Amino acid sequence: MTTVRAHGIGDAEYSAEDFSVHHSDGRVIFLDNIFRECQQLGAAEREERITAFIAAMTGSDDVPGDWESVRPMLRSVLRPVTLGQDGPRPLHRAAFPFIDEIVVVDLPRTRSFVSVDQVASWGVDAEQVFAAARDNLTALSKPGSPAELQILRFVEDGDSYFASWLLVPGWLAGYAGGEARPVAFIAENDSLLVVPDDPELLVEVFEMIEQQYRDAARPVSPQGYTVDEHGTVVPFDEAGPHPSMPLALRARAGLAATEYSIQTDHLNDVFEEYLELPDLDIAPAYAATVNYEESSDGAFTSVVWGEGVEYLLPETDVVRFLRRDDNDEVELLCTVPFPTVVEILGLTPLPTIEPTRFEARHWPDPTALARLRAADIEQ
């Protein structure tokens, strides 16, 4: 608050309820991320970080109102799918599982997320905005070659958008073609690490990235990303057999569990306040949590479907069907791959909810339950 007032905002108010500072002009500065960034800093560095943050948040940088002016300022960035779920979400589209491509306006002191309303005001469509942002990002990127592929750490300077270079067509593929495939990691907003797919090295890297992801103020993903036979960037677990597959599956399951956990908390808050999902007219239901499990084949995700409960089911690897037996003890009936459950029960995903959930209001009838039990993968 001292720093806010020093920047000329004398009537700002602190809100303990949502850990934010409210401007007199209606803008809100949320403090969660800057708090996490400052936790491990010394007093002098902390003061410097807060001063820079407040300067950016209270600055007078305005987004141009016309397309020709704003077009060269657009950039694509990678962010978790749950970003902005508490309010109007910025313009976004899927990039990788649980990770979206979002467009920002690169302003002198900060970055501003592009909204759907802004796109309309510029008189263009979303595809034009994404194309311009990708073009501008491509102009910033610097191509590499297989000869350079050892351990490459790109340190963000605020203007390079290193962590988004995976969106540049052919950029990561530029490091392919040698003896090793490139594997890229984006544990947090301003972090990009590229290493060869050496199994011994990846043991250390996956462990390091997982910890970095957990500690990050603005985490993105614990997964590794590589290129397929067409040069397309894909999650490491989708690129074919590899000795490091158990590590990749652990990261994949961890990301899914984390993002669904954030969404579960949000859905529960919405149901508590409105007794429905207002935009979809969906009555209250249990927003089931994602369970992280491990087996001899690697980590996977599961969700429990219990008899007598109405669910919003997350899309997991498997569904465990449970009910109480005649002795009132919980009985596991079967464990079924999620795609098979969708096929047998005809479930459809709810629109606009990301990550994906399926409405499951009724326990399977005897015929469907028999088919599910026949598809049990743990018989």
If pLDDT is split at 50, 70 and 90, which confidence band does 25 have? low
Please name which of 160, 117, 129, 133 lies closest in space to residue 74, comparing C-alpha atoms: 133
Q: If you search the block for the tokens 């979809």, which residue do you land on?
A: 280
Q: Which of 65, 106, 100 is nearest to 82 (CA)?
A: 100
Residues 285, 359 contacting (CB under 8 angstroms):
yes
Q: Return the structure tokens found at 295.
A: 């087996």
Please give the biggest Cα pair distance in the chain: 71
Do residues 69 and 105 lie in contact, with contact meaning Cβ atoms separated by under 8 Å?
Answer: no
pLDDT band at 59 (very low <50, low <70, confident <90, very high): low
Measuring CA to CA, how many Å separate 25 from each of 11, 22, 29, 88, 105?
Answer: 10, 8, 12, 19, 21
Alpha-carbon gap, residue 73 to 133, rounded angstroms? 8
Higher pLDDT, 159 or 43: 43
192 vs 86 pLDDT, higher one: 192
Residues 324-335 pLDDT 10s: 888 888 999 999
- Whole-number pLDDT of residue 50: 87
Closest CA to 314 of 378, 256, 362: 256
Give pLDDT tens digits for 203-226. 999 999 999 999 998 899 999 999
The residue among 290, 215, 299, 222 whose CA lies nearest residue 260 is 290
pLDDT per residue as tens digits for the range 136-186: 999 999 988 888 888 999 987 777 899 999 999 999 999 998 889 999 999
108 secondary structure, DSSP code: S
Percentage above 70 pLDDT, the chain:
96
